[in-house]
Structure 1
Amino acid sequence: MSRPSVADLRAKGQPPGLKERVNEEHWAGRLYMRDLSPYASTIFVRWGVPPNPITYLMILAGVGAGLLLTLGGVLSAVGALLLVQLYLLLDCSDGEVARYTGRTSVAGIYLDRIGHYLAEIALLVGLGIRAQGAWEAGGWVIAGMAAALGAALIKVETDNVVVARAKAGLPDQVSEEAARPRSRGLGVARRLAAATRFHRIIQAVELSLLVVVAAVIDAARGDLLATQVLVVGCVVVAALQTVLHLVSVLVSRRLE
């Protein structure tokens, strides 16, 4: 059984440029998780755990965070936050283990993408149930599901660029230049939208942090207003970003 050191794992599992993948590497990964993940990845390699079971654990952590949110209260929000951090750690580790052991696969990439879909959907639906105050039908549950649908559509729009290029016989990699809008005005608008980072409130890490803040406010007020305001914000951002991201793809050279 291989017994790599953390340094060995970091050297082979985190190739040069990994942290610089702005469109793929989350800020939390660059800031701290890529420094922590080699310790977990080293343990997985020493125990002989293949990459795909790590990805399954990642999926369980993400979906579990969404389920935990439905329980209400501050403790469940903190628990969901911790599960999302575990989700992020495992998301880093599965790729590191795959690269170190040479067991990268198309199935692994596919599972990783499915895991991202499921985690964000679970968190947003769980947030809607939390805002409703119970596991029962209601407007807040529908709002959470609407936000989840928007988050999923945004990912579909991104993934379908690769699908469309593959069907057209084009390389799947898109340069940064090709991603820029043809129009200067649209380019400025895109940069402004990117600078505000408003779209991140429907992403797992940022959303889990905001849920804790909302939970603390709700506990102080004795109601669910802060959580409900957060749900409304998520619906608005998901709707806007679904349209804006689609326009961004169509007015760029990503499909050429």
Structure 2
Amino acid sequence: MSTPSVAELRAKAQPEMTMERRNGEHWAGLLYMRRLSIYVTWALAKTSISPNQVTGLMMLTGVLAGVVLAVPGLATAIAAALLIQLYLLLDCSDGELARWSGRTSLTGVYLDRVGHYFAEAALLIGLGFRASETLPDWYTVLGFVAALGAILIKAETDLVDVARARSGLLAATEVSATQFQSAKIRLARRAAAALRFHRVIQAVELSLIVVVAAVLDLWFPATRILTVACAIIAGVQLVLHLVSILASRRLA
């Protein structure tokens, strides 16, 4: 396959249906990363690397960010944040490369989801180790608790499509995720969406917050407070997300 121009690549690799996904596209991707990733994808298109191999690099980068974060210090916090930015970049490029080369596959979708599980869990576990004075202590445990919560929240979402597939139904639409029979549930979901507290335990947001916490650690134990907050948020979000799914039309 000949190397495309950036404009040709963008037309096929970044279609409107992808760029306009409300739930599937991260805000950082829309804000700036898609502007950068297309050039990385253009460079990758000139090599023999496969989309799934790019996804593998994404997974490795996300886990490495968690390992680096486990080491105390401002420098490691910044390094982990930069690794998460690279993780996000590769997360954009793997799909773009797959669409351009026609190598989209169920395996690629599966690996992409597993990569998100691994990265968010690794970062939260790394945060727990980072906050610990001795290993293990309660902060280590809280890091694992937050990681488990983050994984289960993602599993709640993915299991909707599993349940629908086993019932012979198509995957749930984005519209069905926002349709609720109860007005109280609709109001609660809007409030939660406005506060966006659930994003604290997501990889991109958490990596940036950790840098701020590392600076604040000079005056008070901000990283420890963040670790406790992440465990609480993961637990609350796990319950609220399950209620939201059961009250929506996604299982109808």
User: Which TM-score band applies after superposition, normalised by the shorter structure?
Assistant: over 0.9
Q: SS state of the match for residue 47, structure 1?
A: coil
Aligned-residue offset at 1:133: 3.6
Which residue is 2:50 aligned to? 50
Counterpart AA for 1:168: S
Q: Which residue of 1 aligns with 2:235?
A: 239
- Counterpart position of 2:91: 91
CA distance in structure 1 between the partners assigned to 2:224 and 2:211 by the alignment? 13
In 1, Cα distance between equivalents of 2:16 and 2:123: 32
1: CA distance, partners of 2:175 / 2:120: 26
The residue type paired with residue 248 of structure 1 is S
- Partners of 1:175 and 1:61 in 2: CA distance: 29
- Identify the range of structure 1 (72-81 vs 178-187) with the bigger mean alpha-carbon deviation: 178-187
Q: Which residue of structure 2 lines up, in the alignment, with residue 122 of structure 1?
A: 122
**Alignment partner, residue 6 of structure 1:** 6
Per-residue displacement from partner, 1:65-88 (whole Å, max 9, x unpaired)?
A: 000011110000000000000000
RMSD, aligned α-carbons:
1.1
Distance (Å, rounded) in 1 between the aligned partners of 2:39 and 2:177: 37
Shift of the 138–250 alpha-carbon distance from structure 1 to 2, 3 Å rule, reads same
Is this contact kept in 2: 1:72–1:133, CA < 8 A? no
What is the Cα deviation at residue 189 of structure 1? 0.8
Structure 1 counterpart of 2:246: 250
CA shift, 1:175, in A, is 4.4
How far is the alpha carbon of 1:178 from its aligned partner?
5.2
Aligned residue number for residue 108 of structure 1: 108
Measure, in 2, the Cα distance between the counterparts of 1:17 and 1:171: 18
Partner amino acid, structure 2, of 1:13: A
Q: Kindly indicate whether the alpha-carbon contact (under 8 Å) linking 2:160 and 2:172 is maintained by their aligned counterparts in 1.
A: no
Q: Tell whether the 8 Å contact from 2:124 to 2:144 is kept in structure 1 after alignment.
A: yes
1:72 maps to: 72
Distance (whole Å) between structure 1 residues aligned to residue 110 and residue 138 of structure 2: 33
Q: Do 1:62 and 1:84's aligned partners in 2 also have CA atoms closer than 8 Å? A: yes
1:211-250 matched pairs, under 5 angstroms:
211-218=210-217, 220-221=218-219, 225-250=221-246
- Tell me the CA shift for residue 141 of structure 1: 0.4
1:120–1:151: 8 Å Cα contact kept in structure 2? yes
Paired positions, count: 252
Q: What TM-score, normalized by structure 1, do the two folds share?
A: 0.96
Shift of 1:31: 0.2
